[in-house]
Amino acid sequence: MVSSIILAWLSWRFIEAPFRRKTTLGSHKRAFKSFGYITALFIVLGVAIYKLDGIPSRFSAATLAYAITDSQKRDFDDTVQEIIENKQLTLLLRDRDDLKPLPILVWGDSHARSTIPLFQSLCEDHQANIYIAHQSGTTPILGVIHPPNVPDLELNQSILDLIKKQQIKHVILIARWEHHPEDDHSTRLRDPSSPGKSGIEAFDYGLKLTVKTLHAEGVKVWIMKQVPLQKVYPPRFLANAYRYGYSEDEYLSMIGLTVSEHLEWQNLTHRTIDALPALGANILDPLTLLTNDNGYCIMEADGRSLYYDDNHLSKHGALWLKPLFVPLFEHSAPSTSDDIQ
């Protein structure tokens, strides 16, 4: 209240009163000219700052390391439509004809897309190539639709046909699983053959059908559980934390999503996923690499954000999960790829 009164008095004393008495600019014509010059100055300054990318040098290197993560959102285009048009699965490293393709397919939605840096690194490490199929908002589950992406049924069936045609032996399913079965969401999963099913029932039916179908074709299925959905926007939060001096490791580790909250949010989908080993699926849980000793889901490591928004991994975050997939690639090295079990 006091500060408002002070500001009001200052505004009256140095802005309103001088203009009313014409002691500052003398005339209306002169005043409008001055306003025009000031406006032009601000436009020039605005354009200059824009051209200089906001003058990033005004921030510390630590702040920029977090903030720049936000620019990684769409470094990779979706591939499913291209796959359907070309009638063949797309290689991850398209310009590496020298690398032998392994019979491995990464299949999923935008969460699969965000792991591309991880699989690129693994391919380079093992001098091999793999296949990838990802489409934002399209769940990699057979037999169900995900409005408004009604063509999901046909798209996923086409991917299955190409898995058979190109003799894929390992399929890695990666998606934002909890988003698809939400009953209070207009885009929840639906089973066309049984419209009365709830979203979670459609999810359970479709994912089990996918595993059974692939297993019947001699394909090993690997399902990565969903990465934690953060409650804050990590790049912005971490950049501001360092910008304003809140850089203590203890403070950062206590901000965000707890492990118990994550498990509660994923409870419905985990019931289905945890039952899939009985059908022959292998489960990969990124939570083992994304928690700290305080019981929180981490969102930064080594001075970099692990996310580019609240639910997608950044390049650094994707590479952080590398230990989860190393055993599969070591077993599938080119020298033994003809004998993959």
What's the pLDDT tens digit per position in 140-183?
999 888 776 556 778 888 999 999 999 999 999 999 998 877 65
CB 190 within 8 A of CB 216: no
* Between 171 and 6, the higher pLDDT residue: 171
* Between 5 and 119, the higher pLDDT residue: 119
Sorting pLDDT into bands at 50, 70 and 90, what band is 80? confident
CATH of domain 70-333: 3.40.50.1110
pLDDT reported for residue 227: 96
Sorting pLDDT into bands at 50, 70 and 90, what band is 30? low
* Between 22 and 259, the higher pLDDT residue: 259
Burial of 341 from C-beta contacts in 10 A (0-12 / 13-18 / 19+): exposed
pLDDT reported for residue 189: 79
CB 138 within 8 A of CB 80: yes
pLDDT reported for residue 340: 45
In percent, the amount of the chain with pLDDT more than 90 equals 40
Q: How far is CA 49 from the centre of its chain?
A: 29
Helix (H) or strand (E) holding 90: strand 90-91
d(CA 82, CA 155): 11
Number of H helices, E strands in the chain: 15, 8
The mean predicted confidence, pLDDT, of the chain is 82
Q: 25 pLDDT exceeds 90?
A: no
Sign of CA dihedral 299, 301, 304, 307: negative
* Between 340 and 46, the higher pLDDT residue: 46
CA atoms within 13 A on the CB side of 186: 2
**Which pTM was predicted?**
0.79
What's the pLDDT tens digit per position in 204-240?
999 999 999 999 999 999 999 999 999 888 888 888 8
Strand order in the sheet with 90-91: 90-91, 128-134, 100-108, 170-174, 220-224, 282-284
Sign of CA dihedral 13, 16, 19, 20: negative
* Between 5 and 214, the higher pLDDT residue: 214
d(CA 253, CA 250): 5
The SS3 of residue 251 is helix
Sign of CA dihedral 115, 166, 275, 193: positive
Sorting pLDDT into bands at 50, 70 and 90, what band is 336? very low
d(CA 64, CA 67): 5
